[in-house]
Amino acid sequence: MSAPPVSPSARLPVERNAARSREAILDAAERLFAERGYSATSLTDVGQNAGVSRGTPGYFFGSKAELWRAVLERCFAEARAAVLAGRDRALASHESPDVILAGVVGDYFDFLAVRPNLVRLMERQALGDGPEYPDVARAAGQEALAAIVAELGFDDRRSREAAHLLLSMVALCWFPMVHARTYLPAIGLDAGAHDFAKERKDHVVRLILHGIAGRLSER
């Protein structure tokens, strides 16, 4: 459920701090865009839910389209930071490729679990709800691909294979997040169960490792 509008008297302390106001607006916009969609969310809605005056979101971001972009940029910046941290940790571990890959899958699944709004925003954009900013997602995608190449020791000749591996990993982790209330119940799975996340991560890791075991040995 959306947070209730904040009374005018409660807005003043927030508006006195520009950085805090900006973050509050981004938080509210991310939540509302994810819950309602881009088309059904107005700058006035964002201002009310952020606890600022209705004109403040426009003051900071200019338009709803630019606010949408700022929300996406923040989400993908967090994703890129998680990827880079995972890559640095993997390369420093000097573990075997299978151990590294298991860690990558686990890290990505955990990231999606704590950032469900990113999943919802991407699904809404895939359905045509909201302006498209492919450059925003491209940077995160290239960082993730570079991390896979570095972690598994793929050379330039196998960059396409690395891209397909990344796509498979994303799809296997992403689908349960999107269809937790649709397809999963139909096959008897509960994404909210306490052991689901571990079961899913273990399954994806085994599936990917068995699928590329021979390919890794060819390096």
**Mean local confidence (pLDDT), 188-207:** 90
When pLDDT is cut at 50, 70 and 90, the band that residue 159 belongs to is: confident
Those residues whose C-beta lies under 8 Å from the C-beta of residue 39, and which sit 6 or more positions away, are 129, 130
Question: How many residues belong to the chain?
Answer: 219
* Residue range 70-217 in CATH 2.70.98: no
What's the mean pLDDT when you consider all of the chain? 84
Q: Boundaries of CATH 1.10.357 in the chain? A: 70-217
Q: Confirm if 29 and 67 have CB atoms less than 8 A apart.
A: yes
Q: Boundaries of CATH 1.10.10.60 in the chain? A: 8-62
When pLDDT is cut at 50, 70 and 90, the band that residue 46 belongs to is: very high
**Mean local confidence (pLDDT), 24-29:** 97
Amino acid identity for residue 13 in this structure: P
Output the pLDDT for position 9: 46
Q: Confirm if 101 and 208 have CB atoms less than 8 A apart.
A: yes
Share of the chain above pLDDT 70, in %: 88
> What CA–CA distance (Å, rounded) separates 191 from 134?
30
**Mean local confidence (pLDDT), 82-87:** 75
Q: Give all strands (DSSP E) within 24-148, no chain letters.
A: none
Q: Confirm if 101 and 151 have CB atoms less than 8 A apart.
A: yes
> What CA–CA distance (Å, rounded) separates 191 from 4?
28
**Mean local confidence (pLDDT), 175-195:** 93
Output the pLDDT for position 218: 54
Instruction: Render pLDDT for 119-139 as a digit per residue (tens, 0 to 9).
Output: 999 999 889 999 998 888 888
**What is the 8-class DSSP label of residue 63?**
S
Distance spanning both ends of the chain, measured CA to CA = 50
Structure-block tokens of residue 166: 């990344």
**Mean local confidence (pLDDT), 20-40:** 95
- Does residue 141 have a pLDDT over 70? yes
HSE-CB at 200 with a 13 A cutoff on CA atoms is: 28
Structure-block tokens of residue 54: 């209705």
Q: Confirm if 146 and 83 have CB atoms less than 8 A apart.
A: no
Output the pLDDT for position 10: 47
Q: Confirm if 55 and 47 have CB atoms less than 8 A apart.
A: yes
Output the pLDDT for position 5: 54
CATH number of 8-62: 1.10.10.60
